[in-house]
């Protein structure tokens, strides 16, 4: 998607350890027009898939998942990174390692939010090694829900995520693919 790619090139900041910072337009401060355009593209890519729920993991994927769910006219669910007092009853859980935060998390979704009748579109901001999407896919599997695909804003195509997910039979649609990050020059190569 050209609009997103242009923003990555002009406003993305390349950090150490293959980190691409997009907080000024996608994560912390959000360009709502860009967000809308990305959500509409996910709707176009997955039209006809009969999506019943959009699923992501907190926190950075929430904005694009919400916008996509609104575009599709379906509910949105996010997996929490820890069980809180306002979650009661049984939960589906899976382990996910966050490449960006360099932490391991057990993500959870209450069992009442996903079922075997759901067709789930997993949406996230980044795809690196496939950990977050893989954990969400595991949760869908535990619920008996069908995964129609994964919509990713930015894929680090130099990492293994796409291959891992495709081996699991998950359709991956990325709106921008970054082939290399150079922290010395500060350049992201698409």
Binning pLDDT at 50, 70 and 90, where does residue 86 land? low
Residue 109 has pLDDT above 80, yes or no: yes
Backbone angles phi, psi at 16, to 5 degrees: -70, 160
Maximum CA pair distance of the chain? 50
pLDDT at position 98 is 74
Pair of tokens at residue 36: 């809308």
Dist. CA 97–CA 115, nearest whole Å: 25
Task: Return the minimum-mean-pLDDT range out of 10-19, 35-44, 59-68, 128-137.
Answer: 10-19
Please compute, for residue 148, the number of CA atoms within 13 A of its CA located in the half-sphere on the CB side: 20
The torsion angles phi and psi of 60, rounded to 5 degrees, stand at: -65, -20
Least confident segment among 4-13, 34-43, 84-93, 113-122: 84-93
154 DSSP β-pair partners: 126, 176
Nearest to 150 by CA among 57, 18, 28: 57
């Amino acid at each position: 998607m050209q609009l997103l790619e242009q923003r990555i090139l002009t406003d993305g900041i390349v950090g150490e350890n293959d980190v691409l910072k997009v907080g000024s337009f996608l994560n912390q401060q959000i360009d709502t027009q860009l967000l809308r355009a990305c959500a509409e593209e996910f709707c176009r890519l997955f039209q006809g898939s009969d999506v019943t729920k959009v699923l992501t993991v907190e926190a950075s994927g929430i904005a694009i998942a919400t916008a996509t769910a609104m575009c599709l006219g379906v509910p949105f669910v996010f997996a929490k990174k820890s069980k809180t007092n306002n979650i009661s009853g049984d939960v589906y859980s899976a382990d996910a390692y966050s490449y960006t935060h360099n932490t391991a998390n057990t993500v959870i979704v209450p069992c009442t939010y996903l079922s075997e009748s759901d067709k789930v579109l997993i949406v996230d901001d980044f795809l690196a090694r496939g950990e977050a999407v893989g954990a969400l896919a595991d949760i869908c599997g535990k619920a008996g829900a069908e995964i129609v695909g994964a919509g990713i804003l930015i894929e680090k195509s130099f990492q293994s995520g796409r291959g891992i997910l495709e081996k699991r039979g998950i359709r991956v649609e990325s709106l921008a693919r970054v082939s290399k990050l150079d922290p010395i020059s500060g350049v992201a190569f698409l």
